Amino acid sequence: MRREVPLAKVNRLINSGNVIMVTSAYENRANIITLAWHLPISLKPPTIGIAVACQHYSAELISKGKEFIINIPSWSLLDKVIWCGKHSGRNLDKFKEAQLTQEPAVKLAKTPRIAECLGSIECVLSDYREIGDHYIFFGEAVYADADEGMFVNDVWDAARAELIYHLGGDFFMKSSAPVERR
């Protein structure tokens, strides 16, 4: 037996990717947005897409600042991840309010990284498209790093990293299984 899934919830059938915290900046204003909608686009050049609601402050900062950083949080940051996802940075400093540390990027000039995150991918905006109520921002990766011992043999050590996965609504889970090669 199967039951019909409402089209407004169809994304939850496939939306189990790890949660990211995207930082952006423009004219001395930096912001953080929590996202679960992201995807690899190309290996050459290395390009990643992120989906941001059109009305979100981060959409404005990314389109004007022409860069963004994908920060990868661990389970220990879940409360801060949720808080950043529920508040707008238009009228407050999310770094300050969430008690997250700004760290200079390695290759980008304006956008800070989040020091508490396990890794980051610095991206230069290569293009974006408006699709329905979201923008899809395409960022070419210009630098990436991860905490020592967390990204081993070119994959996350799921048990140690404890990545956050959003299942929809208020439901989250963490990675915890050891990595197996088959």
Structural domains in the chain, CATH included, are 7-36+55-125+141-174 (2.30.110.10)
Position with higher pLDDT, 173 vs 31: 31
pLDDT at 83 over 80: yes
pTM of the entire structure? 0.92
* Beta-strand relationship, 20-26 and 67-72: antiparallel
Integer angstrom CA distances of residue 93 from 23, 66, 139: 12, 20, 24
**Model confidence band, residue 16 (pLDDT cutoffs 50, 70, 90):** low
